[in-house]
């Protein structure tokens, strides 16, 4: 195997690993934001219910 072909193969492997890592971090960030938004909505609903109880 030629040296350039070997470096090309290694480069492709490294590129694939980097691409997978980037995709993983993007998906993780999106899921984190979604969970944070859901948690914020639940907290708001809880506060609204507490406010209604205090008014009674």
pLDDT confidence of residue 46: 86
Residue 12 within any structural domain of the chain? no
Question: pLDDT per residue over 4-22, tens digit each?
Answer: 888 899 999 999 999 999 9
Residue 10 within any structural domain of the chain? no
Q: Could you give the residue ranges of the DSSP H alpha helices within the chain?
A: 3-55
Residue 1 within any structural domain of the chain? no
Angle 12-9-25 from CA coordinates, rounded to 5°:
25
CA distance 20 to 37: 26
Task: Give residue 48's domain range.
Answer: 18-56
pLDDT confidence of residue 54: 66
Domain count, the chain: 1
pLDDT confidence of residue 17: 97
Residue 5 within any structural domain of the chain? no
Question: pLDDT per residue over 22-53, tens digit each?
Answer: 999 999 999 998 888 888 889 988 888 887 76
């Amino acid at each position: 195997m030629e040296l350039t072909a070997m470096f090309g193969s290694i480069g492709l492997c490294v590129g694939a690993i980097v691409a997978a890592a980037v995709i993983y971090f993007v998906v993780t960030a999106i899921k984190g934001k979604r969970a944070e938004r859901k948690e914020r909505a639940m907290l708001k609903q809880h506060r609204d219910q507490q406010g209604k109880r205090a008014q009674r």
